[in-house]
């Protein structure tokens, strides 16, 4: 089993090689400049690599990019093997990165929370306390409830 530092270095190399090859070497129109490699992870035995990517566009462009990456998998793997110089070139698996969608969802939820907070702030603008402003007893106040024993 390889150490984690070696797996990290190989993952970084795979990310760079795949990104450069997609940018300059592959002439597939489905893989235009709208595909971005975001992360790469390699298993501990250096046999499998997962490449995460995002696609700028709608669902149709995402599906086309997935098909283009699947068809270019062999070319990309041979290029990684040439650059890495390892005994066994890891198999490449391409996975759509959900990070942009998750970030967009979180931003929408935060906007809703801000709007809700603003409504509560507007509703409580002229409100007053139901009792006293400070409901806690002070040490200097007389405690009349303790003198009830006769």
Lowest model confidence (mean pLDDT) among 77-81, 83-87, 96-100, 141-145: 141-145
Confidence tier at 2 by pLDDT (50, 70, 90): low
Report the distance separating Cα 106 and Cα 111, nearest Å. Answer: 9
What strands lie across the sheet with 91-96, from one edge to the other? 35-42, 48-55, 91-96
1 pLDDT above the threshold of 80: no
Q: What is the pLDDT of residues 26-64, one digit of tens each?
A: 887 777 767 888 899 999 888 899 999 988 878 888 888
- Does the predicted TM-score (pTM) go above 0.85? no
* Residues 133/135/137/141 CA torsion (nearest 10 deg): 50
Between 73-84 and 4-20, two packed helices, what is the crossing angle to 10 degrees? 130
CA nearest to 21, candidates 76, 67, 82: 76
Note whether 61 and 33 are within 8 A (CB).
no
Average pLDDT, the chain: 84
87 pLDDT above the threshold of 70: yes
């Amino acid at each position: 089993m390889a150490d984690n530092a070696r797996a990290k270095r190989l993952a970084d190399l795979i990310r760079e090689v795949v990104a450069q090859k997609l940018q300059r070497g592959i002439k597939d129109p489905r893989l235009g400049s709208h595909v971005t490699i975001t992360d790469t992870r390699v298993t501990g035995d250096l046999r499998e690599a997962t490449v995460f990517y995002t696609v700028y566009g709608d669902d149709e462009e995402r599906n086309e990019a997935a098909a283009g990456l699947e068809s270019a998998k062999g070319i990309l793997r041979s290029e990684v093997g040439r650059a890495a110089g390892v005994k066994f070139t890891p198999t490449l698996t391409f996975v759509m990165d959900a990070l942009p969608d998750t970030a967009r969802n979180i931003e929408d939820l935060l906007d809703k929370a801000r709007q809700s907070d603003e409504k509560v702030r507007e509703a409580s603008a002229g409100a007053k306390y139901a009792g006293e402003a400070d409901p806690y007893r002070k040490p200097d106040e007389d405690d009349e409830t303790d003198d009830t024993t006769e």
